[in-house]
Amino acid sequence: MTFLGFVLNSVTVTVQLTTERKDKLKNGCQNETCTILNLAEVTGLLMSSLQEVECGPPHYRNLERNKTYASRENKGNFGASMTLVLEARSELHWWLANVDRSFNYISHREPVCCIQTDTCTSTDGWGGVRRDQKTGERWTPEEAYG
């Protein structure tokens, strides 16, 4: 299922970027000389993709630092040209090499606990169980027939 630019796969329990978002990200990562605004757009794309790219988080920080430094040096003029440092260029290359096959697991482990709940639309009420702990009450007339 595609939802908000992500492909959710319930069989493999994974999430990944759509082809369109991958292409947009790759196009943004092509330039090693750019304006500060261009780099801000690219880092925004990267940051919005971190949940779908399992190993992505360590590969944007130098780009962000480079952008912040260039902005400070140019007194906030986002139209100013800048050159990316080696570490930032290396991060762009990582994204170009990995974005097509990237994904992330929606869940990485078995549940820690199981909570069961139940409700009844009549006057019986509601309840919940976690291991040997139980809770529940009867509905008040207002709640039951609201």
Task: Enter the tokens of residue 13.
Answer: 């329990």
Contacts of 76 (CB under 8 A, 6+ apart): none
- Domain positions in the chain are 2-105, 115-145
Angle at which helices 86-98 and 19-28 pack, to 10 degrees? 160
Residue 29, pLDDT > 90, answer no
pLDDT at 123: 62
How many angstroms separate the CA atoms of 106 and 1, rounded? Answer: 14
Average pLDDT over residues 61-71: 94
pLDDT band at 64 (very low <50, low <70, confident <90, very high): very high
Nearest 5°: phi and psi at 74? -100, 15
Average pLDDT over residues 59-79: 94
User: What are the pLDDT digits (tens) for 39-62?
Assistant: 999 999 999 898 899 899 899 999
pLDDT band at 146 (very low <50, low <70, confident <90, very high): low
Beta bridge partners of 137: 126
Identify the helix (H) or strand (E) that includes residue 83.
strand 81-83
Residue 145, pLDDT > 70, answer no
- The helix/strand/coil state of 104 is strand
User: What are the pLDDT digits (tens) for 84-129?
Assistant: 999 999 999 999 999 999 999 887 677 777 888 887 766 678 888 8
Task: Enter the tokens of residue 124.
Answer: 């019986």
pLDDT at 28: 86
Contacts of 43 (CB under 8 A, 6+ apart): 60, 63, 64, 67
Identify the helix (H) or strand (E) that includes residue 91.
helix 86-98
